[in-house]
Amino acid sequence: MVSLLTLSPHRPRRRWLAPLFGAALVAGLDQAVKRIVLEVRPDIAVIPGLFSVTFGTNTGVAFGLFRGFPLGVTSLGLAMLVGILVYLVRVAPVAGRLERTGLALLLGGAAGNLIDRFRLGYVVDYLDVYVGEYHWPTFNLADSAITVSVALLALGLRRPSSRTAEAPPAGGVGGPWASQP
């Protein structure tokens, strides 16, 4: 049986520690801000007509989808958190800095929102972006971390990696579908 920590002897074994620390930092900061928001219950127009800090809650997922299924949403969040953690431990040793940063933000954001679900039964939102009467759904620091993580992971996947340069793709140069001369 292969252990989750079985890695190439050429890669450091603990490259997942820094992303794990980063994730804990993101989740901790998210929870600290949410604690303040819960105590103060702000409604502050920071930039009138564009941005406010406003207390809100969300029992669903992104944009309030699936609000009527709190147990399902929490269970899905927990499964995703475990999946991200396993992926982080398996991939971090061979991933670049961009991917590890993306995984740290993803794990921290997911953990921050999951802590809310277990502790409160809903996620605390407080960032409200709008133009006039048109509002983007209220969100929080954890949601922002998740969004940035997706962008970083997408960028990391687009960058050529040293692993792909080591061996040509299956089927020779250009892969099995490359046009033959």
Structure tokens, 66: 């699936």
Task: Could you list the beta-strand ranges (E) of 68-174.
Answer: 123-131, 134-135
Neighbours of 84 (CB within 10 A): 20
Cα–Cα dist 97/19, whole Å? 9
The active-site residue, picked from 30, 116, 128, 143, is: 143
Structure tokens, 146: 């998740």
Cα–Cα dist 93/162, whole Å? 13
Cα–Cα dist 162/172, whole Å? 18
Strands ordered across the beta sheet of 51-58 = 43-47, 51-58, 123-131, 134-135
Task: Decide: 159 and 94 in contact? Cβ < 8 Å.
Answer: no
Cα–Cα dist 33/126, whole Å? 9
Q: Establish whether 43 is a catalytic residue.
A: no
The active-site residue, picked from 30, 116, 125, 128, is: 125
Catalytic site residues?
A: 125, 143
